[in-house]
Structure formats: structure tokens, C-alpha cells
Structure 1
């Protein structure tokens, strides 16, 4: 209880949050997902009449996570998410504290599927939209980095594909500021199979750990497997045994892949951060160029960073109840 108070009191004062009785305010319609750190519900907000997604963070587990950054004033997930305005990032409408002292987020309700599904199926959706998905993920992550953050948990399960076949990045629970105190070695958080070698080895980190995770995700979208052939269910200690090995070149698994796309992804997978792309923006530039060359008739409109923050009326509302996204975290 003392640990929880040490985390909650500064948060309430810093963000000027009022406690909300979510059971009285929201009508729970259906659980969308249950993870070890949170649960997400499709709910109807009695105040607005809108259908939204309500994420409730586990009290004790969240406190333990935040305690890892004691003394650093790490922003909570709600403080990060509420500021993000980009077409390829899920919109957070509100965050606060429940009357049970749990942190909660109210988000736009996105009707769609986790990217893990088309990756696993390699179906028509993936075949026909793969490069578009890859570019949209990069656009969302590039914007996110320019806001001064490190994601630390980019992977297919934290990416949604909505009913308009558009990408949405979700889950900012492990996000840290891109500042020296948070780049210092020691704190290993994330999804093990997508973690950069320097993070696993407890070395200094920066936004290039997200470049690595982005490259792993792109690799998996083409091959349906991870770069080192690692079983995603392996523990972090078991994955450490593989990180010093060179990943299988994507061209060996997908012989007809465009060479520019292949080389871009493989550079992103470099074991040493200095051998990777300096930024997601640099990697994205190469992938956009390949898409423009390979799909010249595409009507895709790239997102301008200067326009992304002006998206105040951006929202998704679907009447169809089928195919809700499933949320899970570790």
C-alpha cells in the first residue's frame, strides 16, 4: 500500500486528476481483452453517449512498474497518450484515477484486429496492404519519436488494423522520455522477441531500440517468423543466447522481395545501434521510396507531421459489432 501511495499521490498532484467512479459513469458492454497489466472494455459513456474503449490498469502491477523509475518522475501512460494526435495512433480522450485508485484511460473505440492476425494468416489483407501497413506504422512511430518519446514495446500485438485497413499504434504503458536519465542502462522492459540487443544487455539505449523493433515487425510481416528464428514464447534469458548471431537475411526467406525493402529492413536489424538507421524517419524515407516505385498507382496519401497534431476531430465509430480488436500486454 505504501508503494501505491508513493506513486499515486505525485501523479494526482502533477496531473490534477479527480477520482472517477467508472462503474457509475460507464456501461460495460463487452471485455475486449485481459492482460497481466490491464483490462480493456468496450463501454458506453453516460456523459457523452459515445461508445469508447476503457482501459483499467492493475493497481499493484502498475505501481511496481512505476517504482522501477523512482526519482525520475516518469509520466504515466495516460499523461503520454493524452497528448498524441496522429491518424495512426489510437486517440486517448481522457485519463484519470478511479475511486479504487486504479489508473484508467478512455480511448476511441477501434473496431478491427490486432496486426498479429494478418501476420499469422498471411492472407489477402496482408498481401495487398503490407507495404502500406509498414509505412503507416513508420509514420506513427516517427511522429511519436518527434514528440520526444521512446516506445519500448513496438510489436504486432500493439498495432491494430481497423475496418478501413488503416494502422493504429496502441499501448504506451512502457513509454519513457527520450532523455539521458531514461536512456541509462539497467531497465529491461518490453516484449523479449522484439527487444534490441543493447536493451537486453542492459546497455545505454535511445530511440534506435524502436528502430530495431520496427524492423523486426516488418521482417515478420514478410516472413511470418522472427529474424533469428526465435520462438516468441522463449524467455528473455533464452533469447539472450541468440542475439549475438546474425539474423537470417530476409531475401533467403522471401526471394521475390524488393531489394530496397529488404536492405532497409536488414539495416534496421543491425546488432549495433550505430549500424542501424539513425532514426525511424530515415528508415521510413527508404520504405516510402520503395512503395512509390512499386505501387505508383496507389492513392495513398502520406501523413505530414505538421498536420498530424491538428487532428482534433479525428475519431472512429463503428456500428458493426464483429471483429473487435483484442488487447493483451505482458
Structure 2
């Protein structure tokens, strides 16, 4: 079958920009051309497609309803072209790996894992981005994204890391001061440290959930310090400020070193697992493949 004859790439580029702005002037500014050149290319597109795509009212130009679906497909086509170019560009820089991760996951778990990896790969250049904001879904400028739960569904590829659990911890000095801290029935009367997970994660475990899991009615929980990052909550616990609900992966090294003490074997599993995600072209890099295997291997300890 003979392929269809396509309009000029320049006309399609103008159409893609105009369809977003619906302004000849803004399109001209975006593309660095004159308004007359934009109008001319829109006219060329209609001539080359043999269809009316615009409704001209006075000095205004608007997309006809049927042209909206066409515009969407054209924009997706340009996005695909951009992805292809990015993949080609990244082939020239396979030694540089960028990782975006949730802040506490990065500081409390991933960073120590990467430190060990870099001891054996000192020529590898890594860039780390600690952020709650999810990167664009194709991960064009990021090699890997470590995220939680359904957020991973956005990205082209993903691999399960681990599904964490939480339990209470405190500093040794705090337990010496409050020996009853290991008793769930007494724990509710002591300073408790809280993490505000944010409105997007209301289902994550709280102190109320943990006491309910232990079949303890804590009554009205005392108001304590609340932190926006679980890493900050744990730092407060290490400083002896109170008891924190800790994730297994976040405190493994603190428990091993004695900086923190686990107060109960009772624990609650996190509702969803953590994932490592990547986009098209990432696995063309030997360094990226090796690092992915290293990270997922390290994650098995907590799964």
C-alpha cells in the first residue's frame, strides 16, 4: 500500500503550536517567525490536506471540531520525534546517570546503597534529584525515578523494589528515661512524633492505625511535633525527642548501629510498594543496566 502523502513538516509544526495557543501572535513568538508566516503556513496545511481545519471569524482563527483530534495526533507525533532525538543524544553520554527519588527514600535508603556501589564504580558520574514532584512521564532527562505506589504506573517501565512496613522506634536515651515506652498501652502517653504524608497519601499508616493494630485504645493522642518528611521525623527520634513510626528500609542502619531501638515487633505493612522506573533507551546503557540490577538486588533485603 502506498503511504499517504503528508503535509510539510513546517506547516505541521505551526499547526501544533497554534492549536495549543489559538493565537497567531503567540505562535509567531514561540516559533520566532512573523504572524504573516504563521497564517500562511496554516493556509498551506489546509491546501495540502484538502480539508478545512479552521473557522475564521473576523481577525480570529479557531480550530474546527474535527481538527481537534487531528491536532492531538500531530502533537503526539512531535513528542515521539523529541523522544527519539533524546534517545540518540543519550547514547553519547552513557556514563552519566541521573536519578530522581522521593526525598526520604533517597536520603534514608538509596543514598547508602549508591555509596556502596560507587566504591566499586568510581568512574561513574551520578546526578541525584531529591523531589516529591514526579518527572515527565517519558523520563527524557532522567535515567531512573524511584517512587511509591500508583505513581509508577505513569512511566514506560518499572520494577518492584519492596513493600515496606512501619513500627515504633526511639533513641536509647529516650527508652532509659521512659522504660514504659516498649508497652503499647503506655506508649500513647509519651511524646509521639508524627509524619504528615500529605493529601495524596492519606492511606499511609498513622499512630492511630498502629494502636488499632495492637488492639489498644489510646484515647486522645497527645499532640506532638509533626514533620513533612519521614526522614525529619526519624532525625527527631534519634535526637531523643520522642517515638517515631519508622519504615524498615529507612532505619535498618540506625537499628544496626544502635542509634535507634525498635520498641515492638508489631508492625503495619505499607499499602503499596516502592518502584524504580525508567523510560525508552535507558537500558541501552551498560552502566544503567548494572545499576538497576544493583538497586533491585539491594531492595530484596526489605521485601
TM-score by length of 1: 0.20
Q: Which has the higher contact order (CA 8 A, sep 6+)?
A: 2
Q: Which has the larger radius of gyration?
A: 2
Judging by fraction of residues, say which structure has more helix: 2
TM-score in terms of structure 2 length: 0.21
